[in-house]
Structure 1
């Protein structure tokens, strides 16, 4: 399989399952808020120019997922720098427009909008939630979930899986990612004596060597393995393959 490349992505190692759980927990709290008062607020009026996928209408699930990763990466970079810096506001809107074009907007809206008659949708959404506002909230959520690892995506590890469930045509796309700072810290630890040869995978080291590395890593504020997987659900729509969901999962 030919793997597409995007400038700016780096190669990584492994991420611990505990950190993944904690990051998802924090993201969930940030998305939900402390209570459900927003159900009684008006929906924020938002509108972005939708940018259609660069790969075209016949783009594969892998191509759509790869574009989504790049858009989330660019969105996170301008968020981290601040929208008031230079032309970051325009860059933010451009990246958000790309995500809008790559997202399954109808499905996202159905999942987000509250419906008191069926008790479906998100109980934390305002009652007059618009489709644009729903997609923006989800795009921000996706970007927050993947922010810690988005600059360390390793596209050579991308996998496309076909779920066995019948019904809507979907694919699950996963890719390995790491935090670049943790890669550097781990490399420094591995260079110390008694930690095993640097070119030997962590799982192939002796239990004693693994224990020494874990102890040194914890002292530096991280855990090993340091690899995570970004998992995307991509569904076939009338416009082509589009992203419905993005999660961070353990690479194990």
Structure 2
């Protein structure tokens, strides 16, 4: 009788142990994994920035080819920009500006000479600025410090580059202060030391300064676009005439 009670007690203890083990195992079971995050729908801010970056990279590459005097490179870059389609989910308000940009790029891709290329570049840059203004959103440029230079040819060229960058910001922003800074710098700049100035280069240098003065006097978008295109074309001509060798990007 006593042995049956012992065995019964042992079975009871074992049952409690098993039940406790089950409860402990159930408690330690990990929760089911969380569902994967839903993909962002629509045309997000990331998409917008990426698209603007594509436009900028193509446009500034064409701009740089024009400054080098490389018309073939300019036309090729513009052809690439002309092929950039607007995503179907892009804001409706962007479509008119994008269409103008594509038309300007197509015209630029068949520019016959430096003058035509400069004019087309100016028109294209204006489509960027007008779209930014119409949508009340565009690039935010920091106010740059003037490039003081040290009188060497390379320093003078950097000052020239600094000035043309401000003109770009003035139209694409659009940003009046940047335009005025760039125009003033061009109007006052000396580019070549006297010993390197041939009559042809002196004439080109004088033309650049005069164009800087014209840029200072330009107050409307139309006036600025016209003189901007002429400045870029003249830069390219001067670089070709001076046999300037540019570092490859």
Taking structure 2 as the reference length, the TM-score comes to: 0.29
Give the strand-richer structure, 1 or 2.
Answer: 1
Instruction: Specify the structure having the higher radius of gyration (Cα).
Output: 2
Relative contact order, higher structure (CA 8 A, sep 6+)? 1
Taking structure 1 as the reference length, the TM-score comes to: 0.28
